[in-house]
Each structure stands twice: as C-alpha cells, then as structure tokens.
A and B are shown apart, each in its own frame.
Chain A
Amino acid sequence: MTLQDIRDTRVWRSVFRGGSGATNLRRSMAIQQNVFLHLASVKARERALQFSVTWYLGTLSFGTFLILVVTGILLMLYYHPSVPQAYADMKDLQFVVSAGVFLRNLHRWSAHTMVLLVFAHMFKVFYRGAYRKPREFNWVIGVVLLIVTLLLSYTGYLLPWDQLAYWAITVGSNIMSAVPVMGQKVRFLMLGGNTVNANALLRFYVLHCVILPLAAILFIAVHFWRIRKDGGLYTGHKESQ
C-alpha cells in the first residue's frame, strides 16, 4: 500500500477534502482548507524564507510558547495552587517525580528564552522597518503579545511559592500600587487581598494557566493571519513597493 493509496481512501478524503495531487491548486487547497494552516499564506516569497530576513525569531518565539504549553500542562498535574502545598509540590517535582526536574527546568528555561526571543523579534522588526505601512496593526498586536508574555512571566514567578517568589511579587505589586488614583485598587483586585497570600496565589495561577495563555493564543492567531493579510513577511523595501 503506497502513501497515495492511503490518500485516496474514503476516510482520508473525508478529513482532507482538497484531495491529493501535485498541482498548485491542490497545494493551495491543502493550506486553505486546514483550520490551522489557513492562517498562513498559500504562497511565500523565497526571500522571506531565508534566515537573514527574520532570523526565524517569530517562529522560534512561537516554538518556545508551544514547549511552555506542553510542559506547563504536565506540571499542572502535580501542582496544587494552595498555601503551603504549592512549595512542597514544586520540591516534589524537583526531587520525587520522575522527569519532574526536567519538565520544570524546561518550562523555566523556555520561559526565559521566550522573553529573550520576543524582545529580539521586536528589535529585528523595528530596525528593519518591517512595522511600517501596511503592517502597523500587526506591530500593535505584537506589542500586546509582548505584554502578555511579560505578564505570563510575572504570574509564573509567584507559583513556586518560595522566598524569591513571595518577595518578588510583594515588590512588584507595591510598584503597581504607585499608579495614581487606582493603584491601590488594582493591587487589591490582583492579589485578592492586602497581602500576598492564598488568594493571590490562586489568582496568579488562574491568570497564568488559563486567562493569559488563552489571550496569547488568540493574539498569536491574529498575528499570524495578519502576516498573510498584510502581504506576507517583510522582505525589504524593494519587494514591498
């Protein structure tokens, strides 16, 4: 049985309606009719695929995000967001759970790497002038994604519930309360109280594991889709005219 035979089966054709075949139409339909791939362009300029154009920084940022989602979901299976259980669970992940220390460290290093890559991606886009018309709105989406990335980093900081986490969030939330008029209120709502405590841990957990990742996925989808809508990746001032 060849690959072509499998592609011609009724089951395969029910999933991939475009069918197979090495024509441009079939190839286009394979992209267009896939819910994930349809965010991307059917065609890309050869220049846009070269390393020097993007250094692949956006794709690498997305790669670290995928690693973080997978390792994060696995870490959630052993982690209780409660006081003082959270700290013990974190230590269990390090010393008791098989491969726990690997997953925890992978999550941690990917998080650091993602922040680094997102900044590098923004610098690359900025200094190449790729944010200019007609890509202004995608730059704005990118800024939102930077903020979401930093918030994910910050909320994840508290979850180990060790001394560093506790005092870092104490300091961070006090910085926030310096915002005029609403600073104290925002701090109270974010911590769910006046001090960094069980409520704060739970709120940060929900933000870190549900709300912020959903926001990130939503804005990443728009970000990718806008690349296509804005005429593909910016490859230099000559091509974009």
Chain B
Amino acid sequence: MPEDDKTQPTRREAFIKLGVGSVVAACAGAAVFGYSYLSPNVLYEPSPIANAGKPDRYPRGSVTQDLEAGIYIVHGPEGFYALSATCTHLGCLTVWNADLGIIACPCHGSKFSEQGVKLEGPAPRGLPWLKVWLSDEGELLVDRASVIPPKQYLRT
C-alpha cells in the first residue's frame, strides 16, 4: 500500500461502497417490483353500475333490498332514491326490517332510517345515497361507486 492518504478512499473502500450501494438499489428495486406484482392490474369484480329494472316494480312507499348488488331501492313520496346497504361501520351487509321500519346491521347492531340517517351506532355515519338514473330502456341504474348528497330524488 502507498502512503495513507486519509482524504482519498482506498480501492477496497470504494468497492465496498459500490457493493453496498448495489445491494440497496437491488432491495429498492425488489420492493417496487414486489409491490407492483402484488397489486392486481385487472380485477374481475362486478361493475359498480347495477341494473335495478323497471321503476314500476317498486310500489310507492316501498323499500326493496337487492341482496346481490348490496343496495336499497326506495320509492318514497318524493321519488326514487338508492342507498348503499353496506354498513358504514365495518362493511357488513345491512337488512331492511319492514316491521320496525328501520335498516339494521346484524354484525354490531347499527340502525338506520329508510332515508339512510344513522339512528344508532356504532356506525360513524349514515348510509350513503347513490347516484340513480334511468337508462334509455327506461330501467333504473344505480352507480354504487358514486355517492351523492342526500335528498336527491329521481322522479319518473
């Protein structure tokens, strides 16, 4: 070895730095690679838009639950609206109790009115109102992915 020059790294130190740097870069690359591999790019999940059929299926003053779609179609005095049937607490499927006139969650006992207003916890919020419109064929369509402010009714 030549005379120690403290300011200049030795070849060995330089190679150690290069090696450590490569390992760090490889780990970062593996993390990015792993994250993107584990995130599915294509999901075979049902479309957020559910077809609820012709409006005349729902008599005025009725609350109808679509179990498959996880929504309620309500035909109130002011018109149609749709509520998500998924409890805002931890995601259980609520159910309409016609005798009591409330929507209740079987998991932890939350209760909602037929307008989706929270009556009793532990749910933090009421049930969200969902966008409803009529298709060209005159059928009710509900977009489960778009939440709208309450009290927007669809008149047919």
A197 proximal to B (CB < 8 A): yes
Q: Enumerate chain B residues within 8 angstroms of A171, measured Cβ to Cβ.
A: 90-92, 107
Partner of A194, one of B43, B90, B92: B43
Contact assessment for B45 and A193 in the assembled complex, using a CB-CB cutoff below 8 Å: yes
A167-B107, A194-B45 known; A174 and B40 CB under 8 Å? no
Contact assessment for B45 and A170 in the assembled complex, using a CB-CB cutoff below 8 Å: no
Q: Enumerate chain A residues within 8 angstroms of B91, measured Cβ to Cβ.
A: 170-171, 173-174
Contact assessment for A170 and B92 in the assembled complex, using a CB-CB cutoff below 8 Å: yes
Q: Enumerate chain A residues within 8 angstroms of B44, measured Cβ to Cβ.
A: 198
Contact assessment for B39 and A175 in the assembled complex, using a CB-CB cutoff below 8 Å: no
> Which range holds the interface residue count of chain A?
10 to 19
Main secondary structure of the interface of B (DSSP, over half): loop
Q: Enumerate chain B residues within 8 angstroms of A18, measured Cβ to Cβ.
A: none
A-B contact pairs, 27 of them (CB 8 A): A167-B92, A167-B107, A170-B90, A170-B91, A170-B92, A171-B90, A171-B91, A171-B92, A171-B107, A173-B91, A174-B90, A174-B91, A175-B90, A189-B35, A189-B38, A189-B39, A192-B38, A192-B40, A193-B40, A193-B45, A194-B43, A194-B45, A195-B45, A197-B45, A198-B44, A199-B40, A199-B43
Q: Which residues of B contact A (CB under 8 A)?
A: 35, 38-40, 43-45, 90-93, 107
